[in-house]
Every structure is written in structure tokens, then in C-alpha cells.
Structure 1
Amino acid sequence: MTTIKAVASVFAGLSGGIAVGIGFVAFLTVLGVIPRITQLTKTGKYIRFYEWSVVISVVAASFADLNNFSFPVGACFLIPIGLASGIFIGMLAAALTEVLNVLPILSKRIGMEGLIISLLMALVIGKVAGSLFQWLVFVNY
């Protein structure tokens, strides 16, 4: 029974990671976040630094999350961190409608042109199943 749980955990983890990774890449590429930032700040010559800062911060945050790393900070630092997190999540939520434009391109590339509803339902059911699995199984540990 533990082998089945381990395989299910690996499958759920990989599926969730792939879904989040695809969403993040779609967010960055489809919306052109980095080029827009360089346009707004008139710092186009530093675009490589923007790209590398995103890559390094994602890798560092993933590493810190997987190792349960935390900073012992006071309440004064929580307000700007919470504000920055809220701004990021707000931008991500506002951009979801544009990210959905990726799905027709994806369905054409993998040969599922007529099955876009099935692709959307698979994503929704997978996210719901993954969330339920995390809430119901990992909460009990």
C-alpha cells in the first residue's frame, strides 16, 4: 500500500509542478512581462539581468520551499512582503484571461484541435484532484 501512495505522491507532485511551470512560463511569454517592464522603465539594455533575476528567484524560492526554509523576521517586515505578494497575485489573477490564449495554441500543437473543452476539463479536474489530495492526505501527516 505504501508503494501506491508513493507513486501517487510522485505523480501528483510532478503533475502539479508541470501545471504551475507551464502557467508561469505562459504568464511570462504570452504576456511579455519582462519586455513590458523594460519598456516602462526604459532599461532595455538590462533585459538579461531581468531574465536571470526571474530564473534565479524561482530556483531559490523552490529550493527554500522544498527545504522548509524560513526567515525569522519581525512584524515590520511582514507588511511589505505581504503587499508585494498581494500585488504579484493580483497581477497573476488579472492575467489569467490572457494566459488562456495559450490553450488553443497548445491544443493545435499536440493534435487536439477539436478537443479544447476536454483539455480544459482535464486541467480543472487535475487541479481539483491535486488540491483535494494535498488537503486530505498531507494535512494528516
Structure 2
Amino acid sequence: MIIKGLAIVFIALSGGLAVGSGFVAFLTVLGIIPRLAQISKTVDKVVWYEAAIILGTIAGIYGSLRDPILGLPAFFLILLGLAGGIFVGMIAGALAEVLNVIPILAKRLNMDGEIIILLMAVVLGKIAGSLFQWLYFIHQ
């Protein structure tokens, strides 16, 4: 029984180290956090971005291991969801900016002068997909 428990701990620790190392390499090599700070003109707040990622990771780990019940009113849950969505959107935007996805896509679609149309299509598609997922899969 002890050997089985130690094997589970070893496998979980190895998997966590592998995923964590990949995540840190992803953020470091692409320079996501500095680019996010540069785009949002908050370079002096880079330490806060890093702290938010660390605390968010720890909270995510705790939430996945313990399945906590927060018992918060719906208003606070809406604010938490909004904050999480904004952060994920900004990270995705910084990643797209670092990799120059939008200009490359615009050139491939022959839309060099109409990047705003391409951006609005991406934004409206994301909104429609989120609403569809929320209304169809969550509230069935």
C-alpha cells in the first residue's frame, strides 16, 4: 500500500514538473509577460503580472485537488469570471502579438488594409462561441 502511494506521488510530481516546466518555458521564451505589459503600457507593473500568474497557478492547483465550494453570491462569481476572461484574453492577445499572427493571417487572406475587419471577426467569433458554450452546454 505504501509503495502504491509513493508511486502515485512520484508520478504526480513528475507530471507536475513536466507541465510546469513547459508552461514556464512557454512564457519565458516567447516573452509573453513583458509583451503584455508593453502592450497595456504597464511595464512598471510586471512584478504584479508575475505574482498574479503564480497565485493563479497555486489557486488552480488547490482548486483541482480539493474541489472547494466558495459559497459566493452570483455577483462575485460574475466579477471573478470577468477578471479571468480579461486576463486570458490579454494573454492570448499578447501571444498573437508576439507571434505576429494577425499580420501574417491578413497577408495570407489578402486583407492587408482591412485588419480591423479581421480583428472584429475574431472578437465576434469568440463572443459567439462563448455564448453558445454557456447557453447550450452549461444551461441545458
Tell me the TM-score normalised to structure 2 length.
0.49
Tell me the TM-score normalised to structure 1 length.
0.49
Higher relative contact order (CA 8 A, sep 6+): 1
